Amino acid sequence: MSVGAIAPSSRYLAAAMADGAEAFDAIVEVGGGTGAITQALANRNPEARLVVFELSEQLADGLHARFPHAQVVAGAFHENVSVLHDLPQKTVVVSGLPFRSLPAGIVRPTVEALTDVLRVDQARRLVQFSYRLRAPFAAPAGFVWRRVCTVWRNAPPANVWELQGNPVSA
């Protein structure tokens, strides 16, 4: 199984990702892995509804055991997005998906599914990390990337990005 990472995210990267998910009523995490970021999200936002998608059934089982209050969905995000039909307006999506190493045939439907969630409300955003200076994927029409910070205490160092609807094109 390719997870696109050398090691789970450090607690410093997890904390930086959780910074972008404060004050939302629901958090959707895509690519929960072993739960490094999930833990920071759950600690920081105990009241928020938490939905975690994880492709690997084995890792999803681990997440389910570790975070019993979360809704853990095993399988590809874009194939299971229908479980998100009743999200509150104030929803943030947090992703550890390795977009630059995923097959194009997966990237396209995944980005479409993500932007469908974001388009519901201008305040929604995607918080995403990448190991490169380039944006994780090309911003879809009507959206802009903002690079929030670089987390050096991660192997390898990672950039935290936010994708949001472009107010100019709203």
33 binds ligand SAM (CB under 6 A): yes
**Amino acid at residue number 170:** A
* Span from 41-49, 63-71, 93-101, 136-144 in contact with ligand SAM (CB under 6 A): 93-101
Q: What is the DSSP string of 74-119?
A: ES-HHHHGGGGTT--SSEEEEE---GGGS-HHHHHHHHHHHHHHHT
* Span from 55-63, 114-122, 140-148, 161-169 in contact with ligand SAM (CB under 6 A): 55-63
77 binds ligand SAM (CB under 6 A): yes
135 binds ligand SAM (CB under 6 A): no
110 binds ligand SAM (CB under 6 A): yes
Residue whose CB is less far from ligand SAM, 29 or 165: 29
151 binds ligand SAM (CB under 6 A): no
The answer for residues whose C-beta is within 8 angstroms of residue 37's C-beta and 6 or more apart is 9, 13, 14, 17, 18, 29, 94, 96
CA distance 1 to 38: 20
Cβ–Cβ < 8 Å for 55, 129: no
136 binds ligand SAM (CB under 6 A): no
4 binds ligand SAM (CB under 6 A): yes
Residue whose CB is less far from ligand SAM, 76 or 123: 76
3 binds ligand SAM (CB under 6 A): yes
Burial class (CB in 10 A: 0-12, 13-18, 19+), 167: exposed
